[in-house]
Amino acid sequence: MLRRSVRAWSDRIAAAYRSRTLLWGVMAAGILLRLAQYAANRAFWVDEALLAMNIRTHGFSGLLGPLNEHIVGPIGFLWTQRLLVQLFGEWEYVQRLYPLLCGLLSLFLFREVARRRVSPDAFPLAVGLFAISNNLIYYASMAKQYEGDVFFALLLLLAADRCREGPLTLRRGLGLVGAGIAALSFSLPSVFVAGGTGLALASRAAASKDRARLLRLFAVFLSWGAWLGILYVLYLRAHMGNPDPDFWLRDHAPFPPRSASDFAWYPMKFFETFVDPLGFREGGPHGVAAWVGLFGACALARARRWWPLALWLGPVPLMMVASMAGRYPILPRMILFLVPAGYALFAEGVIAIRDVAPTRYRTGWVAWLLAAALCVHPVWFAMRGLVRPRVKEEIRDVLDYAAARYREGESFYVYEGARPAFAYYAPRYPFPPDHCLAGRAYPSASDEYFNEDAERIRQTGRAWILFSHIRGRGDASDENRILSRLDTFGRRLESHSAPGAAIHRYVFPSGSGER
């Protein structure tokens, strides 16, 4: 009797799991979460501010050349941002509209790609993880190109999958050409996706000895190559001369590996991917999730499901070659386009574990309990975002505070990390440019750095001290070290802080501006 009852409940849960109601509920939740994060309208952090300043100071032709402060972006994205700013103004909502639309459309694209190439039992779990992904939600409200990388990778995968499933007609061929050209124009890592899917399509045609299909594919690849050549001449050549910052060098794959740490870099990066950008909890859970994803990939290979495996993992070898050549850093935001593959393989791994469980556990409880335990963290962070949207560096909050209390003649010291965001927001506030002191950038924190800047501040008599994108933490942070120095010869009148930013007001009796 008990066994029948358990079986009945199991069947009901399985039916609910596969229902269209749950699927559309998850999709609706994904849309709501992205809109809630977008509506929060958080302040630009340093990377967004740097891009926004380039959009402000460069016209359409100027965006073809190297940009300031090592900023690099696909020309389609840069021109879209410039057009939106010209039409609607420089507001944060305007400059985050493109990533929001990419984030919303990616939900539907991933559902379609996963419906075709993820096993039926893994499909709801993969779509659910994609919908509530904390990083996908966050980057859908960031004025950068990374959410577009996800959208155009999925668009290219879908176009390639449609070409694979039947005859390569003119319509399908033109769709693949168009998807590739759009992806290459709007997404830098799409070159890896195009290369991976192209090789998979060509390999399948060669294996079946379909010469006509190979010739049509060759025409598609030729059009992609011609467009990439045009982009290189007009745009990429100039931007490729803009070298990566030194702090990105550690994120290039070491090649050839010369030490134990070099060899360890590869598995470490693999496991770190399941923390950021995939969003599993750091520690034991992310390691287990990584092994589940690896098990899912092995299960696809064992079942000879080569096409889904190539679809998800095809871009990875090309990306790694570019990284070994020092041309592509393996950073969480730079590999955001691989998030769909990560969730698809994780979901496949859960189902594979269920299927290899002993017969008496074939109901799937072991695998589903494991999946539930691993997904608690992503679900919790997604739900928390409805009440408390994710923020980073709320410099606008502290500038509002200072503007309401600013007195004529007071100086404004801007810490080096806060300079990009302050430069973007300064026109909205009454702070005279000739009274603003820019903190000087040093390769590393030093006593000379703090002493020289503290002396410059002291000479002003009265000053506001603005911090954001602060280096270091706790007592060792640049903020505390500078303030400790200022406290020795000045008096702190007031302070105000916000997430990732702070401002302090000082008077210096011995300064030239004493009142």
The residue count of the chain comes to 515
478 burial class (0-12, 13-18, 19+ CB within 10 angstroms)? buried
Tell me if 189 sits within 8 A of 153, measured CB to CB: yes
Q: How far is CA 438 from the centre of its chain?
A: 30
3-class SS string, 314-338 = CHHHHHHHHHHCCCCCCCCHHHHHH
Give the model's pLDDT for residue 248. 61
Task: Tell me the helix, strand and coil percentages in the chain, rounded to 5.
Answer: 70, 5, 25
Structure tokens at 282: 């750091």
User: In angstroms, rounded to a whole number, what is the distance separating the alpha carbons of residues 402 and 385?
Assistant: 28
Per-residue model confidence as pLDDT tens for the chain (515 residues): 555 555 655 667 677 777 888 899 999 999 999 999 999 999 999 999 999 999 999 999 999 988 887 788 999 999 999 999 999 999 999 999 999 999 999 999 999 999 999 999 999 999 999 999 999 999 999 999 999 999 999 999 999 999 988 788 888 999 999 999 999 999 999 999 999 999 999 998 888 888 889 999 999 999 999 999 999 998 888 777 555 555 566 788 999 999 999 999 999 999 999 999 999 999 889 999 999 999 999 999 999 999 999 999 999 999 999 999 988 999 999 999 999 999 999 999 999 998 886 555 455 677 788 888 899 989 898 888 888 899 999 999 999 999 999 988 888 899 989 999 999 999 999 888 888 888 776 555 566 667 777 888 888 888 999 999 988 887 778 888 888 888 888 899 999 999 999 999 999 886 544 43
How distant, in Å, are the alpha carbons of 2, 49, 65, 469 from that of 142? 52, 11, 23, 16
Element (H, E) at 225: helix 211-231
Q: Give the whole-angstrom CA distance, residue 211 versus residue 205.
A: 7
Q: CA 185 → CA 64, 218, 515, distances in Å?
A: 12, 20, 57
DSSP-based three-state secondary structure for 502:
strand
d(CA 349, CA 439): 51
Largest pairwise CA distance in the chain: 90
462 near 511, Cβ under 8 Å? Answer: yes
Q: Give 231-259 as a DSSP string.
A: HIIIIIHHHHTSPPPGGGGGGSPPSS--S
- Rounded CA-CA distance 204/498 in Å is 55
Rounded to two decimals, the pTM is 0.92
Q: Domain map of the chain by residue range?
A: 30-387, 395-507
| Distance, CA of 459 to CA of 513 (rounded, Å) | 7
Task: Give phi and psi for 501, each to the nearest 5.
Answer: -155, 155
pLDDT at 347: 96
* pLDDT recorded at residue 11: 63
Burial of 347 by CB count in 10 Å (0-12 exposed, 13-18 middle, 19+ buried)? buried
d(CA 152, CA 187): 7
Please enumerate in sequence order all residues whose Cβ is within 8 A of that of 216, keeping only pairs 6 or more positions apart, or say none.
168, 173
Taking the C-alpha atoms of residue 380 and residue 371, their distance in angstroms, rounded to an integer, is: 14
Q: What span, in angstroms and rounded, lies between the C-alpha atoms of 496 and 493?
A: 11
